[in-house]
Chain A
Amino acid sequence: MDSTGLTGDLEGAGRKPAISLEAPSPRYGEKAIKGLLAVCALLSVVTTTAIVVSLLIPTLDFLARVPIGDFLFGTSWAPTFTPASFGVLPILVGTLSTSLWGMLVAVPIGLASAIFLSEYASPRVRKVIKPILEVLAGIPTVAIGIFGLVFLSPLIEKVLPFMVNVPPFSAGVAGIAIGLMIVPIIASISDDSMRSVPSGLREAAYGLGSTKMKVATRVVFPAAISGIIASLVLAGSRAVGETMIVLLVAGASPNLTFDPGSSVQTMTAFIGTTATGDISTGTITYDTIFAVGALLFVITLVLNMFAIRMVRKYREVYE
């Protein structure tokens, strides 16, 4: 009878109540579930580790045979020829060239679309167009590549012959197709970040007599700049890592040039064409695929980390 908590409480304030607030059992099930879920989350770390390990080991084998200087700064790329040469610059420049032309197309179009959606469009228009953009962002890149190869390339060859030297392959046309792929990314993320700018800033600018255009370009755009830069960097990273479009449209000749009319081979296209053949492990060709993959991974990793930091920055300021 004395063991009830009530009397205990009445007798003295300093004593612990006998009723425990702890769970009646240790709840091993709860802990097991937590552990199981943690394993799911850890799988992502395992994936990253596996990517790094699977890239690193063959890359080290590769670098044991080819000096790193020859690889990074060599200007001739012919890994499957005899005599082979392993200068990565032509395919690195090929990647930069197609990505650059893609960004040149997508940045103005994407940013202008974002400004329109965020600052000018009525809620009704926005509610229709934003989902359409999101759905179109899901078009597979192989479909965009076929569009580039079958439609864009012949069309551009007729209108601007200097853009397509070796029909139907052209770095510039591949860039335009990549641009189509990344426009929705830029538009969607930039729109989100401009809409997260507090309306007080806009109203203050209007109160000082700004026009709508000034508010959009001088107030909202700078205030959202970190999110906008993040969208551009993410889009750039997608452009660098894109495989199917460049496989179909850019061709397969490793030319060290930024000329939009030239056919180029990109790093992804090299991996995509070479790794499909039945090549055996341990050969230098097999290792080359991984060395190029490692370089590609490092480039996109740096871009993604930068974008993630920029996104955090705008979240911290306005949320």
Chain B
Amino acid sequence: MADPTETERVRLATAGARAVTLESLSSQPRGDLFKGALFYALLILALAVALAGLAAIIIQAAVKGAPAIGPDLFTNGPSTLNPSEAGFRPALIGTLYLILGVIVLVVPLGIGAAIYLEEYGDRSRWWNRLIELNVQNLAGVPSIIYGILGLAFIVRGPLDLGFILVAGSLTLALLVLPTVILAAREAIRAVPPSIREGSLALGATQWQTIRRQVLPAAVPGVITGVILAISRAIGETAPLLLVGAATFVTFNPTFLGDNGYSALPVLIFNYAQRPQDEFRVLAAAGVIVMLVVLLAMNSFAVWLRNRYEQQW
């Protein structure tokens, strides 16, 4: 076991490093170039598949539903017997009312909660951290669980409203509230502390600072969050199935009427489940109407955020 001397060790190490370097340098061009190109092609392919798959949903609905597009779609009520004359009128009005209710509930509550968490809530207190974690968790609860909540707490149980439109609005509002809170918080957090400190230093109270400085600067982000939440509420179907969005309502719904109400996605779902192809065409036409509204809203929201993304 002869110990190599210091110089020998250095020489060995140098030779090893040299060999490794030479090997990697000479092997690099061909093999890695090929692998790199293949990898790049695979990445592009994956992205193309993702975009094509999602685009196919839209295109397929447009092709399938095109024959049913017309004024009848908006003015006629649903029919089980006569698909050629069936339309979406009560469902469209129902969705409109539902969403109005959601907006009225969600905008003040969501923004209020976001202001509290960002501006007042002291993160060293456990209850504020609890609220924060709780909101994050609620954002991930499946929508059908909100349907169960609506059924047990709003339709029956403590609130006992019955199967009325307002119960649907409340359920949808609870469902999208966490989304609004999270988005509004992001927007409020993006306003730099120096703005607040400047305002407070000039003698403004905390609420004056929030109302006159922080909120105006956060408006685009907040609106983006609200629009995305509303568009989610428009397309949400599962919880409405549980809180009484009956399908074949042929009259226009009202907020408190207990004769039942209908909503666009629920009626689409019902048409789609029928075996006759005419009803599927009708469902596809309903999907087009819904997608046009939603994609327009979402595009506007994303544009708004990117346009007014402020670099302080």
- In A223-247, the 8 Å CB interface with B consists of 234, 237-238, 240-244, 247
8 Å CB contact of A146 from B51, B284, B306: B284
Q: Which residues of B contact A (CB under 8 A)?
A: 24-25, 28, 32, 35-36, 39-40, 42-47, 49-51, 53-58, 60-61, 64, 108-110, 112-113, 115-117, 120-121, 130-131, 133-138, 140-149, 151-153, 156-157, 174, 177-178, 181, 205-207, 228, 231-232, 234-238, 241-242, 265, 268-269, 272-273, 280, 283-284, 287, 290-291, 294-295, 298-299, 302-303, 306
A42 at the interface (CB under 8 A from B): yes
Q: Which residues of B contact A23 (CB under 8 A)?
A: 205
Closest to A119 in B: B43
Distance between Cα atoms of A109 and B145 in the complex (Å): 29
- Pair B142/A241 contact, Cβ less than 8 Å: yes
Q: Which residues of A contact B35 (CB under 8 A)?
A: 211, 213
- Pair A139/B28 contact, Cβ less than 8 Å: no
Q: Which residues of A contact B108 (CB under 8 A)?
A: 40
- Pair B238/A268 contact, Cβ less than 8 Å: yes
Q: Which residues of B contact A211 (CB under 8 A)?
A: 28, 32, 35-36
| Number of residue pairs A-B, CB distance < 8 angstroms | 271
Distance between Cα atoms of A40 and B116 in the complex (Å): 8
Q: Among the interface residues A51, A108, A115, which one has the most CB atoms of the partner chain B within 10 A? A: A51
Given contacts A115-B43, A131-B299, 15 further A-B contacts (CB under 8 A): A37-B115, A37-B120, A40-B116, A54-B149, A109-B46, A112-B47, A116-B44, A135-B302, A146-B283, A147-B57, A150-B284, A213-B32, A213-B36, A297-B142, A304-B136
If over half of B's interface residues share one DSSP class (helix, strand or loop), that class is named, otherwise mixed; here it is: helix
Closest to B53 in A: A180
Closest to B205 in A: A30
- In A90-124, the 8 Å CB interface with B consists of 108-110, 112-113, 115-117, 120
Known: A41-B117, A180-B54. A308 touches B137 (CB 8 A): yes
- Pair B235/A271 contact, Cβ less than 8 Å: no
Distance between Cα atoms of A117 and B25 in the complex (Å): 29
Q: Which residues of B contact A241 (CB under 8 A)?
A: 141-145
Q: Among the interface residues A39, A187, A272, which one has the most CB atoms of the partner chain B within 10 A? A: A272
A281 at the interface (CB under 8 A from B): yes
Distance between Cα atoms of A187 and B241 in the complex (Å): 30
Q: Which residues of A contact B287 (CB under 8 A)?
A: 142-143, 146
A140 at the interface (CB under 8 A from B): yes
Q: Which residues of A contact B121 (CB under 8 A)?
A: 41
- Pair A113/B46 contact, Cβ less than 8 Å: yes
8 Å CB contact of A275 from B24, B137, B151: B151
Distance between Cα atoms of A300 and B138 in the complex (Å): 10
